[in-house]
Amino acid sequence: MKTDRFPQTVCVATALLCAMASLGILNSEEPKSAPAAEKLPDPFVDRVVSYRIGDGGGKNEEKLPQIVLGPPQGGGPLKAGTDVFSLGRGGEIVLEFTDNEVIDGPGPDLLIFENPFLEEPGNNPHAGFFELGKVEVSADGENWHAFPFDTGTKKGFAGCNPVLANSEENAIPADNAEKAGGDPFDLHDLKLESIRFVRITDLNNPFGRDKTVGFDLDAVVAVHSRLLDPK
């Protein structure tokens, strides 16, 4: 007996089209791409706002601003790095984070790298050459807050700890407060939630055998930061 298969074929085709449509195969629209991942902030300070060179300073002034804006070029515990800008006695520099702000997070929030070094094989932290700097921070560049310090112990100053991170010689992340070296600062100590400006002033009060020639700035790095609202 002859059987008409046309209705059955139509049903199968219809079912196939429905399945394809449900899978988006027949969708004429362009496939939607995944949302772009949020750009992480660069941890390095972005701009030199101003500086004042004190007596005996000015080394590498011709290399400003780049010499203080990138990652640190540390020399390790027994050697001073030379990729630095010298402030001179009583000199000062003001720097700004322009596309991100340093925020209060767990532990240190900011690292400042100078070029101190130790002079004993046992790496005695009190036997070495130190050119210290007082550190102040600000959210707007006008209202400043100084980190507390102790001239007897060097606590609270920048320029105390040798710099271990060196972007050309090792893979130590510059924003790793436990491994990079440098001097850590915690916004919690000042009860501040965020800052964008950093001011460093040479103390003109050396610890070590030689007279100071001023704070030598290598780099300023945010440990905790977030992107600024473009508005």
Domain ranges of the chain: 47-227
* pLDDT score for 56: 87
CATH topology of domain 47-227: Jelly Rolls (2.60.120)
Q: Which residues contact 224 (CB under 8 A, 6 or more apart)?
A: 102, 103, 104, 105, 106, 109
> What integer pLDDT is reported at residue 106 of this predicted model?
98
Cα dihedral sign, 146-155-118-74: negative
Instruction: Quote the CA–CA distance of 69 and 115 in Å, as a whole number.
Output: 15
Per-residue pLDDT tens listing for the chain (231 residues): 444 554 454 444 455 445 545 544 445 455 555 555 566 778 999 999 999 999 889 999 999 999 999 999 999 998 999 999 999 999 999 999 999 999 999 999 999 999 999 887 666 666 788 899 999 999 999 999 999 999 888 899 999 999 999 999 999 999 999 999 999 999 999 999 999 999 999 998 655 444 447 999 999 999 999 999 876
The half-sphere exposure of 11 on its side-chain side, counting CA atoms within 13 A, is 4
**DSSP letter string over the chain?**
-----HHHHHHHHHHHHHHHHHTTTT--SPPPPPPPPPPPPP-B--EEEEEE--BT--TTGGGTTHHHHS--B---TTS--SS-EE-BBT-EEEEE-SSEEEE--SS--EEEE---EE-STT--TTSEEB--EEEEEESSSSS-EEPP--TTT-TT-BS-S-B--BTTT----TT-TTTSBSEEE-GGGGT-SEE-EEEEEE----BSSSPP-B-EE-EEEESSEEEPP--
Residue among 169, 57, 47, 133 at smallest CA distance from 97: 47
State the Cα–Cα distance between residues 82 and 71, nearest whole angstrom. Answer: 13
Q: Which residue shows structure tokens 């006695």?
A: 89
Residue pair 43/174 in contact (Cβ under 8 Å)? The answer is yes
* pTM, entire model: 0.80
